[in-house]
């Protein structure tokens, strides 16, 4: 490869090429900042070389500098169009920012430039799965497989077959993969997928049979634990999670699962696995970060703050630890240097949406709405459809007296309570809801609310409820399908609006779960960051407030944020729900519920919906 522009002496050109190869080797070692520094030097001497710009894009992205990476990708393609690898990597950046149409365009250009480029077909297939288009994904992934088979491609194809309803094809391929890769946890996991719920013994037996063949026993123990946890056999799950962590103390997913179970069971061992692992690996930042997050979700704010302060003292000023400490201080309503910590974290990770949103939160609390808007517009440039960004923008505009708040949060149009139709075989909706209310509590194996969710004083299921084949659940899903079509048909079109612009003919449920609140229970104010449209279905309700003298016990409210703004907060709408009713709203709407006092539980089935 020649780096030198035409006319540059050969020796100088060779020197630049050698420096580029050195930068590429440094990138492969994970020294991204150093790779950027070297490539910037080359670019100053020999500007606009597509390979140098591509490496700058890749290193910038790995450093979390998404917008700078996009700039370099575009510059590389301007210097030399139709580079398949650059287009595919650019598509990956766009896909992870949920800019799906732009990502599809990049991938399609990549495969036109190089029709046999397996990576581009694979990435295009993953995008189709993200967009809930499994039939398209199958076509792309089969092209990728024909161009050069890899385990990742075949695993994605198993998923696509399953999502397209081709269960026999999926199982045949998954079994073949498990046969060819007898010690590969991902292959075994794909093969046991159909048995996890209905034949857990068969799933566990197959995982245990793979143990002698794998170099990653911890991953298999984690898989076994998840099968047991799904079946409610929590003692067995705990045993295998502890074994997984004995094998691999840094396995964060096992820590999370184990401490979730301990929390649900009110077990004194909550947090113990993190403490033990930190003693073995005192400089591994993710252990501290996740331990602090668990303690905070459990309501142990002082513990969380102490953990993060200890981590920073031991490890140094890791941006994620700095952010965690700042966010904790914001949650307890004190500045205590939170703004300085967030600013320092953003200096290291300038395009981190979580950091940007939390600093905007701080600026909103301080009344600096113009600064908050600047931060949020930066975040929106990175991920245009991020629901939390839009939620904070709406709040900023309301507080600043900006009319865009009313355009965004068009409550009269977007917030709709509707009555679910009566499924076939039931006299009326009440009879159906009564039967469903008798079934759903049996799916709740936990004794308290999950960590890091909005539920307080209740329980929540973890599986995607609408994937449950039980006739009552499928009848509810069909009823929601009917009113969903009615809701979307009534919506206006506006290509500049974050909700209206994404209305599509096809939709897909990305999440659905059952929630049972006990007396005193409620939902804290929140949004659904990765959603588009949300819906809450009301199955059974306790006696609710009548609205007189502000009595809104058990109602759902909209507009009030989680920022505790005092007199600046505003409940824009409140709805007194009824059993058999559902309420639709954009996922960026702030919402929560009022607590209630009753021996009768409050039972709901919320769901999130994406355009397909």
For residue 162, pLDDT beyond 50: yes
Superfamily of domain 411-611: q2cbj1_9rhob like domain (2.60.120.620)
For residue 206, pLDDT beyond 80: yes
pLDDT digits (tens, 9 = 90+) for 256-272: 999 999 988 889 999 99
Distance CA 608, CA 587 (A): 8
- With residue 246 as reference, give the H or E element that holds it: helix 234-247
Q: Token digits for 567?
A: 């007199």
The pLDDT of residue 450 is 58
Backbone phi, then psi, for 196, in 5-degree steps? -55, -45
> In the predicted model, what is the mean pLDDT of residues 371-379?
98
> In the predicted model, what is the mean pLDDT of residues 542-563?
93
> In the predicted model, what is the mean pLDDT of residues 21-36?
96
Calculated CA dihedral for residues 581, 585, 587, 592, nearest 10 degrees: -60
The pLDDT of residue 522 is 83
- Residue 553 banded pLDDT, cuts 50, 70, 90: very high
pLDDT digits (tens, 9 = 90+) for 248-258: 999 999 999 99
Report yes or no: 121 and 141 within 8 Å, Cβ to Cβ. Answer: yes
The pLDDT of residue 4 is 39
Distance CA 132, CA 520 (A): 38
> In the predicted model, what is the mean pLDDT of residues 530-544?
94
For residue 38, pLDDT beyond 50: yes
The pLDDT of residue 581 is 96
For residue 11, pLDDT beyond 70: no
- Residue 454 banded pLDDT, cuts 50, 70, 90: low
Measured between alpha carbons, how far is residue 87 from residues 27, 50, 137, 206 in Å? Answer: 19, 12, 19, 41
- The residue with tokens 């696995």 is 273
> In the predicted model, what is the mean pLDDT of residues 235-254?
97
Q: What is the 3-state secondary structure (H, E, C) of 146-163?
A: HHCCCHHHHHHHHHHHHH
Q: Token digits for 430?
A: 């009440």
pLDDT digits (tens, 9 = 90+) for 67-117: 999 999 999 999 999 999 999 999 999 999 999 999 999 999 999 999 999
Residue ranges covered by each domain of the chain? 411-611
The pLDDT of residue 612 is 85
Query: pTM for the full model?
Result: 0.88
The CB density around residue 515, as the number of other CB atoms within 10 Å, is 24
């Amino acid at each position: 490869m020649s780096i030198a522009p035409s006319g540059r002496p050969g020796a100088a050109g060779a020197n630049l090429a050698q420096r580029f190869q050195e930068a590429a080797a440094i990138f492969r070692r994970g020294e991204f900042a150093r790779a950027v520094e070297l490539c910037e030097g080359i670019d100053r001497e020999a500007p606009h070389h597509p390979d140098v710009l591509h490496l700058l894009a890749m290193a910038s992205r790995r450093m979390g500098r998404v917008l700078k990476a996009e700039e370099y990708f575009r510059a590389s393609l301007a210097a030399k169009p139709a580079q398949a690898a650059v287009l595919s990597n650019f598509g990956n950046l766009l896909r992870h920012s949920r800019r799906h149409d732009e990502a599809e365009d990049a991938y399609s250009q990549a495969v036109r430039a190089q029709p046999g480029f397996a990576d581009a077909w694979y990435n295009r297939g993953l995008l189709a799965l993200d967009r809930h288009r499994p039939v398209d994904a199958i076509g792309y992934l089969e092209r990728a497989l024909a161009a050069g088979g890899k385990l990742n491609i075949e695993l994605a194809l198993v998923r696509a077959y399953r999502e397209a309803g081709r269960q026999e094809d999926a199982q045949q391929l998954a079994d073949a993969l498990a046969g060819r890769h007898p010690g590969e946890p991902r292959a075994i996991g794909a093969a046991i997928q159909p048995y996890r719920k209905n034949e857990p013994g068969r799933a566990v037996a197959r995982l245990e049979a793979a143990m002698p063949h794998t170099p990653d026993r911890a991953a298999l123990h984690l898989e076994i634990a998840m099968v047991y946890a799904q079946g409610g056999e929590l003692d067995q799950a705990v045993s295998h999670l502890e074994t997984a962590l004995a094998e691999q103390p840094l396995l964060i997913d096992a820590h999370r699962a184990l401490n979730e179970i301990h929390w649900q069971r009110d077990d004194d061992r909550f947090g113990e696995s993190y403490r033990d692992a930190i003693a073995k690996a005192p400089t591994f930042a993710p252990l501290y970060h996740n331990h602090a997050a668990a303690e905070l979700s459990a309501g142990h704010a002082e513990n969380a703050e102490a953990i993060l302060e200890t981590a920073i003292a031991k490890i140094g000023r890791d941006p994620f630890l700095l952010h965690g400490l700042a966010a904790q201080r914001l949650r307890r309503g004190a500045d205590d240097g939170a703004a300085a910590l967030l600013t320092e974290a953003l200096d290291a990770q300038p395009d981190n949406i979580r950091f940007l949103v939390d600093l905007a939160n701080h600026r909103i609390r301080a009344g600096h709405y113009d600064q908050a808007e600047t931060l949020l517009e930066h975040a929106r440039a990175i991920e245009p459809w991020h629901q939390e960004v839009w939620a904070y923008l709406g709040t900023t505009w309301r507080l600043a007296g900006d009319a865009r708040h009313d355009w965004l949060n068009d409550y009269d149009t977007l917030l709709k309570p509707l009555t679910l139709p009566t499924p076939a075989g039931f006299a009326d909706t009440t009879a159906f809801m009564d039967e469903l209310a008798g079934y759903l509590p049996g799916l709740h194996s936990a004794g308290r609310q999950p960590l890091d969710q909005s539920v307080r004083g209740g329980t929540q299921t973890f599986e995607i409820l609408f994937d449950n084949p039980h006739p009552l659940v499928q009848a509810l899903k069909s009823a929601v399908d009917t009113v969903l079509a009615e809701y979307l048909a009534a919506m206006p079109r506006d290509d500049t609006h974050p909700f209206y612009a994404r209305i599509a003919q096809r939709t897909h449920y990305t999440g659905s779960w059952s929630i049972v609140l006990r007396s005193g229970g409620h939902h804290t104010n929140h949004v659904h960051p990765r959603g588009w449209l949300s819906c809450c279905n009301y199955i059974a309700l306790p006696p609710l407030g009548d609205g007189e003298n502000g009595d809104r016990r058990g109602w759902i409210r909209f507009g009030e944020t989680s920022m505790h703004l005092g007199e600046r907060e505003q409940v824009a709408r409140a709805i007194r729900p009824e059993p058999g009713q559902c309420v639709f709203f954009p996922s960026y709407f702030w919402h929560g519920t009022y607590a209630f006092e009753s021996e009768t539980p409050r039972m709901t089935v919320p769901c999130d919906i994406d355009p397909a």
